[in-house]
């Protein structure tokens, strides 16, 4: 009986280690893909010690599908594409994931994540407008609800830091909103 318990314990340990290893491999593939996306967009690899694949060809493995841009979103999407140039499609996907391209979108951030309605007065920061520009406090400046000014501010952030300020880019969630 003692040997059976030891054997079952070892099998359980091996199984746990195998599952953990597979999860880490999948996470590393996602990080490598994001790293390659950043490097490809910026023209250089700013992240050392990472092998960057030239291109991902199996789009099913990262969950990409053709997302439809709604008619009322098209004028906003065109403004974003015009401002961001060759990275326009990525910017549109990021902003669709963040705000649905709504100029009036607002989100409150608490220490535990997205605020519950009753906690909004205690928010640490607020995400404002089409690009969900993060502002300290609970109120958005009115100019961030103006599409053009919001996109301009997002573009200046992008020029300094790439798409890193947007959590949907870092998590890869924007990939489901790509249209091309």
Q: Which residues contact 72 (CB under 8 A, 6 or more apart)?
A: none
75: which 2 tokens?
A: 């004028």
Residues 94 and 155 in one domain: yes
With b meaning 16 or more CB within 10 Å and e meaning fewer, what string describes 21-48? Answer: eeeeeeeeeeebbbbbbbbeeeeeeeee
Spell out the per-residue pLDDT of the chain, length 180, in tens. 666 766 666 666 555 554 444 444 444 444 444 545 555 555 544 444 333 333 333 344 344 445 677 788 899 999 999 999 999 999 999 999 999 999 999 999 998 888 899 999 999 999 999 999 999 999 999 999 999 999 999 999 999 999 999 999 999 999 999 876
Residues 47 and 77 in one domain: no
SS (H, E, C) 46-78: CCCCCCCCCCCCCHHHHCCCCCCCCHHHHHHHH
Residues 136 and 175 in one domain: yes
Residues 132 and 102 in one domain: yes
pLDDT given for residue 2 in this prediction: 67
Residues 47 and 2 in one domain: yes
Residues 22 and 71 in one domain: no
- How many domains are there within the chain? 2
Residues 34 and 115 in one domain: no
Residues 105 and 19 in one domain: no
Question: How far, in Å, CA of 109 to CA of 115, rounded?
Answer: 5
The CATH number of the domain holding residue 94 is: 1.10.530.10
Enter the DSSP assignment of 111.
Answer: T
- Quote the pTM value: 0.62
136: which 2 tokens?
A: 């300290």
Residues 53 and 116 in one domain: no
The parent domain of residue 52 ranges over 1-57
Residues 49 and 74 in one domain: no
57, 82, 99 - which closes a domain? 57
Residues 86 and 138 in one domain: yes
pLDDT given for residue 72 in this prediction: 85
34, 57, 80 - which closes a domain? 57
Residues 133 and 112 in one domain: yes
pLDDT given for residue 70 in this prediction: 78
57, 83, 100 - which closes a domain? 57
pLDDT given for residue 103 in this prediction: 94
The answer to whether the beta carbons of residues 126 and 104 sit under 8 Å apart is no
């Amino acid at each position: 009986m003692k040997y059976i318990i030891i054997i079952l314990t070892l099998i359980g340990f091996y199984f746990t280690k195998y599952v953990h290893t597979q999860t880490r491999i999948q996470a590393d593939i996602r990080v490598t893909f994001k790293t390659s996306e950043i490097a490809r967009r910026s023209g250089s690899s700013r992240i050392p010690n990472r092998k960057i694949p030239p291109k991902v060809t199996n789009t099913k493995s990262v969950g990409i599908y053709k997302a439809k841009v709604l008619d009322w979103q098209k004028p906003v999407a065109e403004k974003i594409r015009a401002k961001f140039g060759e990275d326009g499609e990525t910017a549109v996907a990021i902003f669709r994931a963040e705000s649905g391209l709504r100029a009036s979108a607002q989100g409150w951030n608490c220490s535990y994540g997205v605020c519950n309605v009753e906690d909004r007065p205690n928010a640490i920061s607020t995400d404002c407008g089409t690009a969900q520009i993060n502002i300290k406090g609970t109120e958005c400046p009115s100019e961030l609800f103006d599409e053009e000014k919001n996109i301009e501010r997002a573009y200046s952030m992008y020029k300094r830091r790439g798409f890193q300020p947007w959590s949907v880019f870092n998590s890869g969630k924007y990939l489901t909103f790509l249209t091309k």
